[in-house]
Structure 1
């Protein structure tokens, strides 16, 4: 019982951390606010976001395989695959912003140039798509936890 509660807590903590740092990216990634310190901060925030996403994945796996319900129970429910698919979609959408944040930081260090407003807007759009997909994951989770979608 205690281990199940701790697994749930670790998973929720990782999720909240991921959401906070994605929100920070969305707030910072605006053409009108772009300056050298924002470029540096975006790269740092994105790194923490990526680490938190990895923690979400690891704690999710731990809940599936070490949790009270077990892998067989989760594995037979199509909602688990919906959750996983949404998580993968968010992860794939995060690749381009990560690459851009790293490139912006390198360019800033090499030439002092900031990213153009159009590229910043396009990058923010990708961050916002992630932010709008993430709330669908716990929607699938609450139905999964209550046995909906079971075979």
Structure 2
């Protein structure tokens, strides 16, 4: 029982961290707010977001292996596969913004140049798509926790 509670706590904490840093990226990735300090900050925020995502996956998998319901129950649930699929899509979508933030930082450090408005807008669009897809995962989670979908 204690292990289950600690695993749930670690998973929730990782999720909240991931959401906070993704929301921060979305808030800062705007042409009117982008300056040298924000370019540097976006790269750092994205690194923390990535670490948090890895922790979300690790703690979620730990819950399926060592949680009360056990792996036999979890891995036969279609909603778990939906959650993992959405998480994978979000991860794939996050590659482009990550590479752009790193490229922006490199260019800024080399020449002082900021990204153009079109690149900022398209990057923010990807971050917002990630955020909206991320909002669907808890819906699947609450139904999964109640045994729906099988």
TM-score using structure 2 length: 0.99
2:51 maps to what in 1?
51
SS of 2:115 mapped into structure 1: coil
Instruction: Give 1:131 deviation, angstroms.
Output: 0.6
- Aligned counterparts, 1:2-151, within 5 A: 2-150=2-150
Give the aligned CA root-mean-square deviation in angstroms.
Answer: 0.5
Structure 1 runs of 4+ off > 6 angstroms? none
Query: What do the CA deviations read for 1:20-59 (whole angstroms, capped 9, x no partner)?
Result: 0000000000001111000000000000000000000000
- The number of residue pairs the alignment matches comes to 150
Report the Cα distance in structure 2 between the residues aligned to 1:22 and 1:76, rounded to whole angstroms. 30
Show structure 1 runs of 5+ residues with no match: none
Report the Cα distance in structure 2 between the residues aligned to 1:51 and 1:116, rounded to whole angstroms. 28
Instruction: Give 1:96 deviation, angstroms.
Output: 0.1
SS of 1:52 mapped into structure 2: helix
